[in-house]
């Protein structure tokens, strides 16, 4: 499974890219706001750090505007993927952008029926938002499972990207469900490699190493 970083904070992207575990990046207007930087400038910098897909999102409501924005975003770097919302206008934009050779990531997907339409429209990526479903008492992971099952049954090429991830457990469950990609906030990625037993084991080996040096 590919791992994308769900952040536009360049220092964090550089830090984790150095580990060789970052296959792409996803952003949205909230993430851009958190970065405190201008969208175009920060996206161009991210695209130089990461070779894989970098999702960029606007707020246009009409297909025409989404296509215009999408063409602009795609001109920033060759690995830009244009995020569009899961609406009728969004699906229309997916089809037009696909014909122009521009890849799309359909965002704010909350049902398998929506996910089916996303694949049929020809999107490159579908983003089921599992954490936000969990927040309202639904099982977000079930949406990922059902989307993966539907796409597998019919051979749809659209990649399933588990989004709105809140914990390492979400990442593991998304991998077991067969998601192609999980996009994770930087703090979740950090929690994925940390384990108290690893730290305790390192301390013990270090102490024993020091004791072993005293053997005559």
**Using CB under 6 A as the criterion, which residues of the chain lie in contact with ligand G3P when the complex forms?**
6, 26, 28, 129, 131-132, 163-164, 183
Would you say 135 or 208 has its CB closer to ligand G3P?
A: 135
Nearest 10 degrees: Cα torsion 113, 119, 125, 129: 0
Name the residue whose CB lies closest to ligand G3P: 164
Nearest residue to 97 via CA among 79, 72, 115, 76: 72
User: Rounded distance, CA 1 to CA 145, Å?
Assistant: 14
Would you say 116 or 188 has its CB closer to ligand G3P?
A: 188
Contacts with 63 (C-beta within 8 Å, 6 or more apart), sequence order: 89, 90, 92, 93, 96
Smallest separation, CB 182 to ligand G3P (Å): 10
Tokens 């695209």 belong to which residue? 47
Smallest separation, CB 200 to ligand G3P (Å): 31
Would you say 129 or 156 has its CB closer to ligand G3P?
A: 129
Catalytic residues: 83
User: Rounded distance, CA 194 to CA 118, Å?
Assistant: 36
């Amino acid at each position: 499974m590919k791992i994308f970083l769900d952040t536009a904070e360049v220092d964090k992207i550089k830090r984790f890219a150095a580990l060789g575990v970052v296959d792409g990046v996803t952003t949205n207007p909230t993430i851009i706001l958190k970065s405190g930087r201008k969208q175009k400038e920060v996206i161009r910098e991210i695209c130089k750090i990461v070779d894989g897909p970098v999702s960029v999102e606007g707020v246009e409501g009409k297909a025409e505007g989404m296509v215009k924005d999408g063409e602009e975003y795609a001109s920033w770097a060759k690995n830009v993927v244009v995020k569009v919302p899961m609406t009728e206008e969004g699906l229309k934009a997916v089809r037009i952008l696909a014909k122009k050779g521009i890849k799309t990531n359909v965002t704010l997907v909350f049902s398998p029926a929506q996910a089916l339409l996303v694949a049929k429209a020809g999107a490159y990526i579908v983003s089921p938002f599992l954490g936000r479903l969990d927040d309202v008492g639904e099982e977000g992971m079930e949406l990922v499972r059902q989307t993966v099952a539907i796409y597998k049954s019919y051979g749809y090429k659209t990649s399933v990207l588990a989004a709105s991830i809140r914990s390492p457990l979400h990442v593991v469950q998304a991998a077991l469900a067969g998601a192609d990609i999980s996009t994770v906030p930087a703090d979740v990625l950090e929690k994925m490699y940390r384990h108290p037993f690893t730290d305790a084991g390192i301390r013990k080996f270090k102490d024993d190493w020091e004791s072993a040096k005293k053997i005559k």
